[in-house]
Structure 1
Amino acid sequence: MKVTAIIPDDLINEAMALSQADTITETLKVALISYIRSQKIKQIGVTIVSEPLEFKYSAQELRDLNRR
């Protein structure tokens, strides 16, 4: 997809340096992938807080199972 965006040069230059990308397109791909991943991690965190994980076995029971 082609997109026209007005982004400050200093922001692009810093992103290119940090991502070690050769092109602006590659830099933006890296930035978007990173942003999407961080948002998904936040969503998972919210889900875990609202619905905590429940473990079927205690730590000792797991140790015993692993030793069999």
Structure 2
Amino acid sequence: MKVTAIISRELIEEAMALSKADTITETLKVALVSYIRSQKVKQIGASVVSEPLEFKYSAQELRDLNRR
């Protein structure tokens, strides 16, 4: 997809340096993938807070199972 966006030169240069990307397109892809991943982690964290994980086994039971 072709997109036109107005982004400051300084922001693009810093993003390119940090991502070690050779092109602006590659830099934007790296930035978008990183942003999407961080948002998914936040969503998972929020879901764990709202519905805490329940464990079937105690820590000792898991150790015993692993030693078999």
TM range (shorter): over 0.9
Aligned to 2:11: 11
Aligned to 2:22: 22
Q: Percent identity between the aligned chains?
A: 85
After superposition, the CA RMSD in angstroms is 0.4
Relative to the length of structure 1, the TM-score reads 0.98
Q: Distance in 2 between matches of 1:22 and 1:45?
A: 33
Q: Give how far 1:53 is off.
A: 0.2
Q: Is it true that 1:42 corresponds to 2:42 in the alignment?
A: yes
The 3-state SS of whatever aligns with 1:4 is coil
Q: Which runs of 5+ in 2 are unaligned?
A: none
In the TM superposition, what whole-angstrom CA distance separates every residue of 1:20-64 from its partner, at most 9, and x where no partner exists? 000000000000000000000000000000000000000001111
Q: Distance in 1 between matches of 2:64 and 2:37?
A: 36
Q: Which runs of 5+ in 1 are unaligned?
A: none
Aligned to 2:31: 31
- Tell me the amino acid that sits aligned with residue 32 of structure 1: L
